[in-house]
Structure 1
Amino acid sequence: MTIRLPGRRSPESTTDAAETVASRLRALDRVVELGEGRLDDALLASARELSQRAGERLRLSGTHTVVALAGATGSGKSSLFNALAGAHVSQPGVRRPTTGVAHAVVWDADGAGPLLDWLEIPRRHALEPQDDLRGLVLLDLPDHDSTEMAHRLEVDRLIALVDVLVWVLDPQKYADAAIHDRYLRPLARHGDVMVVVLNQVDRLASADVPDAVSDVRRLLAADGLPDVPVLPVSATAGTGLDRLRDVLTGAVAAHRAALRRIAADLDNVSADLADVVGGPARDDVDDKAQRALVAALGAAAGIPAVGAAVQRAAVHRAVAITGFPFTRWLRRLRPDPLRRLHLDRARTTAITAGAGADDADLVPTSQRTSLPATGAVERSRVELALRRLGDDAAVGLPDPWPDALRDAARSRAGDLADSLDRAVAATDLGLSRKPLWWRAFGLLQMLLAATAIAGALWLAGLYALTVLRLPEPEPPQIGIVPLPTVLLIGGLLAGVVLALLARALAVLGARRRRARAEARLRESVADVAENLVLSPVRAELAAYSALREAVAALHR
């Protein structure tokens, strides 16, 4: 928006402009919130400062427009200031006596005090209100090229705060690099709240004034300010003062200069932030990288070793129940593979107050394992998986996000080993339930053992009668074989055959149990990966996406 002369109307209402600026300031606050700890402090400093300054400016008088006259030594700022004020307020001259202090003239000082306090302007002059300039606060700034550092710092401070900037140039120094390089070019996005005055044109021949104005416009275009009005003025002769006064009147009448200044500042911040959110939209991690991470963590957690232990334990426990009764006691001399690793899911009965034993809750007595420490190969695989996951998440994203995502992927790497061990220990490996066929085979083995024992006792009784020379009853026969012999040998042979069959079935079942146990372990490991690795990475990606949206809203 260019500062318009009276009679030209803006297509956007002041209310709409205020709502737009308020929305952009909310987006700026969101940018500052999301950028803390992620973006460079120097990059966020201007955003923080603008958020605070804009809020304070909008809170202060909305009926006043602050216009500053800025320029170099000898440009005639003070004379122009006095001419606009209609009074001898500021002392003109090559050397100014006001050490780093600006003057203010206020048309209608009612309510301007807090605004001038915020601007830190001690020298104030109240003028009689005029209808066309009511609400104007005109500042005469120190020389921006002063030899006094305090003067230059005061100029820099106020240039960042005022609503409208009027740059006063003179025919001798309008091309001075000091003003173009230090002020005009960095303020290229503030053309809507800027006017350039070529003062002291009375020192030029009338025919040379258009050429000088044209040359100033050329320099402004090179600075990125092609649409800034350039007004030829002479404060002493009065040339062009009416037109400059009309420009100021238009700015005051619109009551939107402060909004436009803030909008221009927001454009600057938005442009500075564009590079850090210039990458593609992304809110999740590549599935392949996630699977690779879970696989590496699973190896580090000892899933293959636990799976093998589950398989051996399943066979061990099946044989202990279904094996040959006369030799199964030997099985008890061999340690259970899972108990040796503290993975037997041993449970204690915790009976809640008022509940019976049937309602008891079973809780694990241990949450740690005795698995061997992770080897160097597994640790290297985990490190590589973490690095790849962070790299995959950061593909195409600008700085500082690649480093942030890699750091997020490794942010809790030190907790992985302990969390994986606890996850493995807390996983139900599925061996607490005994299959029905185990019990059926066990019962059948007991019947066969009883049969063999009955046959043995029968034969022992017959042998005792023979030794004692007592009459022997003739035992029943099956074919030519006495029944006691059939019971003994048949019971023993059937028990051995049944034990071999049970073992074969146990081996097949143990493989399935191993597969199910490893699947459950991978789920537990995936939960650890989600909590300790993927969640921090997703949080950074979410912050990037949210910041991207906030900067887009800030750019509107």
Structure 2
Amino acid sequence: MARRNNPDRQGVPEKVRALAETIELADGRADAELVDKARRVVGHTDKRLAFSGDLTVVALAGATGSGKSSLFNALSGTQLAVPGVTRPTTSKAMAAYWGEQVPNDLLDWLEVPTRHAVTGGDPALQGLVLLDLPDHDSTERAHRDEVDRLVQLVDMFIWVVDPQKYADAALHDRYLKPLAQHAEVMMVVLNQADRLPEGQLEPTMRDLRNLLDSEGLGKAQVCAVSALTGFGIDELRGQLASAIQDKQMAAKRLEADVVQVARELGEDIGHADVNEIGRAREAQLNKALGEAAGVGVVSEAVLKAVRRRGTLATGWPAVSWVKRLKPDPLKRLHLDAVKVNKKQELEPARVQRTGINKGAGFNGVQQARVDSAVRAVADEAAQGLPRGWQDAVRRASRKDEGLLPDELDRAVATTDLAMDRGQGWWKIFQVLQWLLIACVVVGLGWLGLRMALIYFGFPPLDLGPTWRGFATPTLMVIGGVAAGLLLAGLSRLLVELAAKRKAARATHVLEKSIGEVSRQRIIDPINAELRRYEQAREAVARAH
């Protein structure tokens, strides 16, 4: 049978898609039973929408002795259902179909084995699938289970009650009240109206109406019939015909299912405002990670390394060589080989593990500080969220905790400390120092040669012009040493300034590298979880 699409059915798939999106987003975060319930609703809604919109599945449900089977026969004009004490003990429902060909695919999905086609019936009921359910108060558990199963799947309910038990608590508490959301596709039929004393029908119906209204079932239709005498049967059949011709019962039922479970999910998800991670909290986290990664150690090493290298390059060569006896602090940390090529890109072959933290991982104190900082960030982000989402945020914050030590170590190892740049003035001082050393050597050589000539009886070497009694070579020696020491003192001041600038820059760039790891491994996963919560709120709102 061709599927009929009408405008009122189009909103249901949109709500189903929104609910399915909510399920995916809330899985593992919202209440597991609610998520499973929503998943079942999506599953059976998709399947029901796959069948023709011209079919309307109506279930006749009632308690033992309510005359449900007799009403089934009266509506169908058959004797298919066996009423009374001779009623079959099968736990399965029975179906009657008004139409040319029994919709076997639909009834297979409903798992209704007994099927009959009603021929020569009211043409206004064309497309009706009427189910006679087992008694909902049966002593047989299988009968009650069958009722519970089909109540979740049918398009419309007709609850058959009798004058003695229409207010039965078991019916109202187990079925009618929980299905209040579906009141629009529900009818409550008072059967056996012929047994009421004269003048009692109207008060009884009014009492039934008031009872249903008090339970949130104001939209449920009510009517009185007698399957035995035929009273009210035509009216009931007319109400069924109107519902069938409207072609909206299935859509209304499905929409009510989706809306109900979406509201329940929405209440569980809540409407909390998402808290962005503050700059102060992020800075606190980065500080803890930086301490664990050895940012302070590296910055101090940069300071000492610049001092050492600057002194070697610009100091008085006669004494600065002593610095070579001390190891280079960056080399000790395995950071001396980190180079940047001409394209300002790190050379991968030069990246290695640093010597900051011996072995893998942090020490106890470092780990405790990192854990505390991560926990503080996660708690701030999760504040106000439902418990399941708080747990998800905390899990997200620790998702990559096993990778943090290596990631931070690599971040430090791959950070360009610019140790090979900004040293041009060193060359100038170095050239000047060697020129002064050359001046001293020449002066000493000059004086030494003069003494050697005198010693061997040769004419003494001319000492050249004098200044204030000092000969030229003497001035060269004294001036060269004095100028070299002065230049060394000046260079030391400049090297100290350069070292402090390099150390400050190293702290800045290392903190930036640490921040990138922090954002990638901690902040971004938390933000992703917060976005997921917002998306879940939006999706569940679209669903209901």
Supply the distance in 2 between the matched residues of 1:91 and 1:175 (Cα, whole angstroms): 26
Equivalent residue number for residue 56 of structure 2: 65
**1:521 partnered with 2:506:** no
Which consecutive unaligned segments of at least 5 residues does structure 1 have? Answer: 1-12, 350-356
Contact kept in structure 1, 2:453 and 2:461, CA below 8 Å: no
Equivalent residue number for residue 433 of structure 1: 421
**1:233 partnered with 2:225:** yes
Match of 2:80 among 89, 109, 112: 89
**1:371 partnered with 2:356:** yes
SS in 2 for 1:274: helix
Equivalent residue number for residue 137 of structure 1: 129
Contact kept in structure 2, 1:73 and 1:95, CA below 8 Å: no
Equivalent residue number for residue 6 of structure 1: none
- Displacement of 1:103 in angstroms is 1.3
Equivalent residue number for residue 383 of structure 2: 395
**1:534 partnered with 2:523:** yes
Contact kept in structure 2, 1:14 and 1:256, CA below 8 Å: no
Equivalent residue number for residue 25 of structure 2: 34
Distance 1:95 1:472, change over 3 A: farther
**1:204 partnered with 2:193:** no
Contact kept in structure 1, 2:55 and 2:127, CA below 8 Å: yes
**1:175 partnered with 2:164:** no
Distance 1:308 1:361, change over 3 A: closer
Supply the distance in 1 between the matched residues of 2:34 and 2:278 (Cα, whole angstroms): 30
Supply the distance in 1 between the matched residues of 2:538 and 2:346 (Cα, whole angstroms): 49
- Displacement of 1:376 in angstroms is 3.6
Contact kept in structure 2, 1:104 and 1:139, CA below 8 Å: yes
Equivalent residue number for residue 16 of structure 1: 7
For residues 65-99 of structure 1, the C-alpha deviation after alignment (integer angstroms, 9 at most, x for no partner) is: 00010010000101111100111110010462141
Contact kept in structure 2, 1:79 and 1:92, CA below 8 Å: yes
Equivalent residue number for residue 503 of structure 1: 492
Equivalent residue number for residue 250 of structure 2: 258
1:345-360 alignment, distance < 5 Å: 345-347=337-339
Match of 1:483 among 466, 472, 481: 472
Paired residues in the alignment total 536
Supply the distance in 2 between the matched residues of 1:554 and 1:244 (Cα, whole angstroms): 33
For residues 256-308 of structure 1, the C-alpha deviation after alignment (integer angstroms, 9 at most, x for no partner) is: 11111101101221121012321334274333222211111111111111111
SS in 1 for 2:137: coil
Contact kept in structure 2, 1:276 and 1:399, CA below 8 Å: no
**1:304 partnered with 2:296:** yes
**1:155 partnered with 2:143:** no
Supply the distance in 1 between the matched residues of 2:403 and 2:412 (Cα, whole angstroms): 14
1:385-464 alignment, distance < 5 Å: 385-464=373-452
Contact kept in structure 1, 2:275 and 2:382, CA below 8 Å: no
For residues 139-171 of structure 1, the C-alpha deviation after alignment (integer angstroms, 9 at most, x for no partner) is: 110000101111111111111110000000111
Distance 1:506 1:151, change over 3 A: same
Supply the distance in 1 between the matched residues of 2:423 and 2:151 (Cα, whole angstroms): 84
- Displacement of 1:221 in angstroms is 2.4
- RMSD across aligned positions (CA): 2.1
Equivalent residue number for residue 462 of structure 2: 474
Contact kept in structure 2, 1:74 and 1:94, CA below 8 Å: no
Contact kept in structure 1, 2:5 and 2:53, CA below 8 Å: no
**One-letter amino acid of the structure 2 residue matched with residue 79 of structure 1:** S
Supply the distance in 2 between the matched residues of 1:358 and 1:422 (Cα, whole angstroms): 20
Equivalent residue number for residue 307 of structure 2: 315
SS in 2 for 1:414: coil
Once the two structures are aligned, what percentage of the paired residues are identical? 45
**One-letter amino acid of the structure 2 residue matched with residue 497 of structure 1:** L
Contact kept in structure 1, 2:450 and 2:460, CA below 8 Å: yes
Distance 1:332 1:77, change over 3 A: same
Distance 1:380 1:183, change over 3 A: same
Contact kept in structure 2, 1:283 and 1:545, CA below 8 Å: no
Contact kept in structure 1, 2:378 and 2:393, CA below 8 Å: yes
Supply the distance in 2 between the matched residues of 1:248 and 1:274 (Cα, whole angstroms): 34
Contact kept in structure 2, 1:67 and 1:163, CA below 8 Å: yes
TM-score, reference length from structure 2: 0.94
**1:290 partnered with 2:282:** yes
**1:45 partnered with 2:36:** yes
SS in 2 for 1:487: helix
Match of 2:47 among 27, 41, 56: 56
- Displacement of 1:345 in angstroms is 3.0
Contact kept in structure 2, 1:101 and 1:154, CA below 8 Å: yes
Contact kept in structure 2, 1:346 and 1:364, CA below 8 Å: no
Equivalent residue number for residue 341 of structure 1: 333
Supply the distance in 2 between the matched residues of 1:358 and 1:131 (Cα, whole angstroms): 84
